[in-house]
Structures are given as C-alpha cells and as structure tokens.
Amino acid sequence: MRGRFQAIVSVALAVVVLGALYWALKARLGEHDAVVATSGNFALTIPALQPGEPTGLRLDNPVFKTVQGQTVTLTIHSARPGAIHVHGYEQNLPLVQDGEVTLSFQASTAGLFPIHLHTAEGTMEHVALLEVHPQ
Ligand SMILES: [Cu+2]
C-alpha cells in the first residue's frame, strides 16, 4: 500500500515538473514569436556588446518571415561596426556604426537563410533568420 502511494506521489511530481518545464519553454519560444514580422520590410537592431557578454548564437534573434518573390528590405541599425551577410542570397553590406543602412533584394528562393554580423575583428555572429516561404 505504501509503495503504491509513493508511486502515485512520484508520478504526480513528474507531471508537475514536466508541466513547469513545458510552460517555461513555451514562454521562451513565445518571446521568439513576438519579434516575428510578416511583411517584406524588416528592421534589425544590433545592440552594443555588454562587457563580458558572449558573442554568437542568441535565443532571441528575430525571424523575418516572407513569401518567395517578395522584395525584402532590411533596415539595419547597428551599434557595432562590421558587415551584414545574408547567407544563400549572398547579400553583403558594410554597416555604419551607430547609423542605419538598408539592404534590398528579391526573395527568389524559398528556404531558411541565416543573417550574420561579420565583425571588424573577423568573427561571425548569427543575428537573425530570414524565412522565405514557397509561393
Ligand atoms: Cu556570414
């Protein structure tokens, strides 16, 4: 009887823990969804690195969703020097530190295209994702 009670308590605890994990992850993914735009015009802000902040992949990078054939216009405001690079489309544009630059091209191919910051120090950072849906 005691063993059965412990089994029920263990299952209940597992359900609570898994439920909490689910809601925590859902909230995190929800933040991601909140920055998704759905037209061809997108704004990207590259903030300054905080002291000690690691470079590289971030979970809160924006996803820019568009449809094949659409003209994509990226307006980029960067606190950091370097160049922006749209993989696959091979679009490159030097950034103006603390200024704004605009990159425009036709989304002729469907797929997922990482957008990188190539820094003045020669490192590469993922800053956004372009998601081109088939027509
Ligand atoms: Cu790149």
CA of 119 to the centre of ligand 1 (A): 10
CA of 92 to the centre of ligand 1 (A): 8
Q: What is the pLDDT of residue 121?
A: 83
Using alpha carbons, select from 50, 47, 54, 53 the residue that is nearest to residue 76: 47
Residues within 5 Å of ion ligand 1, judged at the Cβ atom: 85, 116
CATH T-level assignment (fold) for domain 38-133: Immunoglobulin-like (2.60.40)
Q: Are 31 and 102 spatial neighbours (Cβ–Cβ below 8 Å)?
A: no
**51-77 mean pLDDT:** 85
CA of 95 to the centre of ligand 1 (A): 14
CA of 134 to the centre of ligand 1 (A): 23
For residue 109, report the phi and psi dihedrals to the nearest 5 degrees: -120, 135
CA of 17 to the centre of ligand 1 (A): 39
Q: What is the pLDDT of residues 13-46, one digit of tens each?
A: 776 666 665 555 555 544 444 333 457 999 999 9
Winning range, highest mean pLDDT, from 16-20, 30-34, 56-60, 114-118: 114-118
**109-126 mean pLDDT:** 92
